Amino acid sequence: MAAAYKRILLKLSGEALMGDDAYGINQSVVSGIVKDVAEIARLGVEIGIVIGGGNIFRGMAGAASGMDRATADYMGMLATIMNAMALADAFGHAGLTARVQSALRVDQVVEPYIRGRAIRHLEEGKIVIFAAGTGNPFFTTDTAAALRGSEIGAQIVLKATKVDGIYTADPKKDPSATRYTTVTFDEAIARNLQVLDATAFALCRDQKLPIKVFSIFKPGALLRVVQGEDEGTLVYV
């Protein structure tokens, strides 16, 4: 089955790399993510990835307690660079070519973010991992995903979570909760659905960039999403 999307922006949280560990990177989990991404890469999908740093920063939570917010945010950006490098290395071992572009300049280890170069990498079939968020404190990696997705001309932002979509209530607490198949941006606002943070959500809505919320841990879910099947929840204009 052909892919429904030519170019996507996949948003991965740092916590998605942890598995059941308290913090850090779980290699078996990373291997599973790489395998899923490889499946869609073989369909010819151009893949950009924005990754968070919560899994590494969580290990520094005690030291960061009471820290100035801007300083803590910059530390979090550095954590995303480490995650991006680890993910790129894992892609390399799987036979895929990945490039890391950082919004903070660390030229000795990764490329700086340059929009035209990122698009060229995508057109050449390389996976581009965007690190260091937007490069600014007070903005989340959700906002970075919306921004980079808009800049590279992605057709959709795929928000990878631990839950297989958006539900009417917390499915862990309410067994009767049902999953939304689709929901408009206006409906998501009216129902106070937690899709992305407010800044990222507003940017996606204004740019008419749809969001698909799905579980990265559900076998085959990413493939079904890019093939346009009923997987997760689609948020659209």
What residues form the annotated binding site for UMP?
Answer: 53, 73, 134-141
**Degrees, nearest 5: CA angle 144-132-199:** 25
**Residue 113 carries which DSSP code?**
P
Q: How far is CA 17 from the centre of its chain?
A: 11
User: In 3-state terms, what secondary structure has residue 177?
Assistant: coil
**Degrees, nearest 5: CA angle 114-119-121:** 95
Quick one: how many helices (H) and strands (E) in the chain? 9, 9
**Residue 2 carries which DSSP code?**
-
- Of 131, 128, 150, which is closest to residue 199 (Cα–Cα)? 150
User: In 3-state terms, what secondary structure has residue 130?
Assistant: strand
Widest CA span of the chain, in angstroms?
Answer: 52
Residue 189 sits at φ, ψ, to 5 deg, of -70, -45
Question: Which residue positions form the known binding site for ATP?
Answer: 11-14, 54, 58, 161, 167, 170
Helix, strand, coil percent values for the chain (each to nearest 5): 40, 20, 40
Q: Are 222 and 216 in contact (CB under 8 A)?
A: yes
